[in-house]
Structure 1
Amino acid sequence: MTDNQTPTSAPLTDERNRKNRKRKAILASGAVLGVGAVVTLAAWNDTVFSNGTFGIGDTAWNVQGSVNGTDFLEYETSPGGTVAFTVDPAVDASNLMPGQTAKGKFWLKETKGNLDATITIQPTVVDPAANSLAAALRVTITADGVPVVSNQALSASGTATPFVIVAGDTAELEFQVTLPANANPNAITNTTTQAIWEMKAQSAEA
C-alpha cells in the first residue's frame, strides 16, 4: 500500500503549491491595486479669493430747491415749493392790474460738491385752451440775473436756455409774471391760474 500512495500524494502536493502561488499572486496584485487607488484619489487643495469695492463717493450728486434761499428740500413731486411773489410789495400776484409784474424768487443748489448741474426749466404745466388768463400772462425767468426764459406766454410750449450750477453752489432764480398793459379784459374769462415749473437737472463734469 505504501508503493500505491506515493504517486498519488506527489501530484496533490504540486496542485496545492500551484493554488497557493496563484492565491498569493492575486493577493499581491490586489494589494498593489489598492495602493494605486489611494494615490489616485488623493489630491492637493488650495483656495484663492479676489474682491472689488464699489461706491459713488466722488460722483454723489443732488439738486435741491428752496423758497427762502436758506432751507433746501427735495421738492421731487408736483407742485413743488411755492414761490412767494412778494419781491415787489406794491404788486399783489393774485390781483394783477394791466401793466403790473409780480416777482418771486426760488433757489437751486447742488448739494454734494462733486459734479456740476445743468438745469433746464420746462414750460409751465397749464392748458392754454382751458385758461385764458394763462394765455394772456407773460413770464420771464432769470438765473443769477441772466435771462433763461424771455417774455413767453405763461402757457407757451417753448424751451428755456439751459444754465449750469457749479458743484456745491447755489443759483438764484427770479420769476417775473406780467399782465400786459394792453391785455383785453373781455378776452380773459378766467380769473385765476396756477403755473407749475419743472426744473430738470442733469449732472455734468465739474
Structure 2
Amino acid sequence: MPRHRSRAPSSLRRRRVLATLAAGLVLGVGAAVTLAAWNDSETASGQFGASVFATESKGSGDAGFADHGTTPATLSFSGGAMSPGTLRYTWLDVRTTAATNVGGSAVLSAVATTADTGLASALRYKVVAIAATTSCDAAAIGSAALLTMTQVPSAPALSAALAAAGGSTVRFCFEVQLPAGSPSSLQGTSATFKWTVTSTSSS
C-alpha cells in the first residue's frame, strides 16, 4: 500500500508538466498570429502650372496691337462730320498675346458714353464680328440689328473664338449712323463712346 501512495505525487507532477508544455505550445501559436506582416509603399508627385490668357487689340486709328485694358484703343471713323442719314464705319481687332497658351472667346460686352454735348441719344449703330482680313463696310454689316448707343447685341451675344498665341484675330466692325430726320438742334454737337470687349479663356 505505501508503494502505491508514493507513485501518486510523481504522476501528478508529470501531468502538471505536460499541461504547462501544452500551454506553452498554445502561447507559441498565438504569438505567431500577432506578428506584423511585411509591407511596402509607392508614392508619386506631379507639378502643376497655370495657363496664360491675355489679349491685345488694335483700333482703326492705332499703329499696332497693344494692351488697351485701361487706355482705350483709337477708333477712327470713315468720313467727316455727320449729317442726317449718313453712315460711318470703323473696326477694332482683338487677338491673344504671343505668351497665351490657351484659346478662348471675345464678346462685345458693353458700350458707354464718355462725353456728350447732345448727339449721343440720336446716334444708332450696328456691329458684327468678322475676320480681320475682311473689310469693314456695308457689305460686312449686312442685316445686323440696329442698336441705340446704350445697347450691345444679346440673345445671342456677339462673340468670336480666339486661338492661343495670337493664332486668330477677330474684327468687330461698327457702322454708326445719324438717322435721317434728326433735328437741326444737333448741329455742332458731339459724343464719345467706349465699347468693351470681354475675353474669356476656354479652360
Deviation track 1:134-164 (CA, whole Å, cap 9, x = no partner) reads 3311224354234395653212354354433
Structure number with greater Rg is: 1
Q: By how many angstroms is 1:64 displaced? A: 1.0
**Contact 2:96–2:163 (CA under 8 A) maintained in structure 1:** yes
Alignment gaps of 5+ in structure 2: none
Q: CA RMSD in A?
A: 4.3
Q: 1:202 to 1:81 in 2, by over 3 A?
A: same
Structure 1 residue 108, shift from structure 2 partner: 1.4
Instruction: Find the aligned partners of 1:140 and 1:21 in 2 and give their Cα distance.
Output: 113
Corresponding residue for 1:47? 40
Unpaired runs of 5+ residues, structure 1, are 1-6
Identity %: 13
- Does the 8 Å CA contact 1:64/1:110 hold for their aligned counterparts? yes
User: What is the aligned partner in structure 2 of residue 171 from structure 1?
Assistant: 170
Normalised by the length of structure 1, the TM-score is 0.59
Could you tell me which of 9, 13, 19 is aligned with 1:20?
13
Q: Is the alpha carbon distance of 1:82 and 1:157 closer, same or farther for their aligned partners in structure 2, counting shifts above 3 Å?
A: closer
- Bigger relative contact order (CA 8 A; separation at least 6): 2
- In the TM superposition, residue 52 of structure 1 has moved relative to its aligned partner by 8.2
Give the structure 2 partner of residue 3 of structure 1.
none
Alignment of 1:62 with 2:59, yes or no, is no
**Matched pairs, number:** 179
- Map residues 1-206 of structure 1 onto 2, 5 A cutoff: 7-8=1-2, 10-11=4-5, 13-49=6-42, 60=51, 62-67=53-58, 68=62, 69-72=64-67, 75=69, 80-86=70-76, 91=80, 97-98=82-83, 105-111=91-97, 112=100, 115=103, 117-122=104-109, 124-125=111-112, 133-142=119-128, 143=130, 144=132, 145=135, 146-147=140-141, 151-156=146-151, 158-159=153-154, 161-167=158-164, 168-180=167-179, 182-186=181-185, 192=191, 194-201=193-200, 203=202
Q: Following TM superposition, by how much is the alpha carbon of 1:17 offset from its aligned partner in structure 2, in angstroms?
A: 0.8
TM-score, L = length of structure 2: 0.60
